Amino acid sequence: MGDALQDLPDVRDMPGDSPPAAASSAPISVWRHPRPDGAAGLCVGAGCDLTVAPRRAKRLARRIQAHARRHRLAHEIWTSPLTRCASVGRWLRRWGWRHHVDAALAEIDFGAWDGRAWAQIPKAEIDAWVANFSTFAPAGGEPLQALLMRASRWSGGTLVVSHGGWMLARRWAAMHPHQPPAAHQWPQPPRYGERWAL
């Protein structure tokens, strides 16, 4: 969902819903995956498995490797199963790391919206999403409150490659455990390849 609202026109406030679970207290370092190929203008979620140029995946893997060496961390990486994350883990595995793939680290599932151009999604559906930001889900997709719970409850390892929406959900749940976000409160996602300590 980090790839979502940044491409939308201005969104406005709406009422909150049920609170997300509090985030785990275990500190983790999470990198957003490298920039995927062909994402411009599209709704990109769990159902849109875009590829990443090998050089970009390798570059991020090298940065994670350097971070682990600098902080004397175990050579273990957890990634989303989606190619734009897992490709980074596969580079690390080639270099002797253990690579764990966990579906709980995936981006939000936009269902019928996934892979479609934002301009082709009916305005009435976008308006319904904005009006019920935490509970609305496109056909076949998942609501934000499910992502908030999934991200906040994750308790795997300390080095992770995931998605902008997952990172935002993890941070939001930690900072606002009893306040589901309104659309106008949802921040911009991290840059591709950016690391957050969560």
> Which residues, other chains included, contact 162 with Cβ-Cβ below 8 Å and sequence gap of 6+?
30, 31, 32, 33, 79, 80, 85, 105, 106, 107
Per-domain residue ranges of the chain: 5-197
The CATH number corresponding to 5-197 among 2.60.40.10, 3.90.550.10, 3.40.50.1240, 3.30.2400.10 equals: 3.40.50.1240
State if pTM tops 0.95. no
pLDDT of residue 23: 44
Return the axis-axis angle of helices 164-175 and 144-153, rounded to nearest 10°: 80
pLDDT at 5 over 70: no
* pLDDT at residue 22 is higher than 60: no
Q: Can you give the pLDDT at residue 30? A: 98
Give the pLDDT band (50/70/90) at residue 25: low
pLDDT given at position 2: 52
Helices 54-70, 83-94: crossing angle, 10 deg rounding:
60
The two tokens of residue 124 are 């009435």
Q: What is the pLDDT of residue 3?
A: 47
Lookup result for tokens 């479609």: 116
pLDDT in tens, 123-149: 999 999 999 999 999 999 999 999 999
Q: What is the mean pLDDT of residues 150-165?
A: 96
Cβ(124)–Cβ(102) below 8 Å: no
Contact 39, 83 (CB under 8 A): no
**Residue tagged 């908030």 (tokens):** 148
| 175 Cβ contact list (under 8 Å, min separation 6) | none
How would residue 20 be classed by pLDDT, with cut points 50, 70 and 90? very low
- Contact residues for 187 (Cβ-Cβ < 8 A; gap 6+): 168
CA distances for 71 relative to 46, 67, 75, angstroms: 31, 6, 11
Average pLDDT over residues 154-171: 97
Distance, C-alpha 190 to centroid of its chain = 9
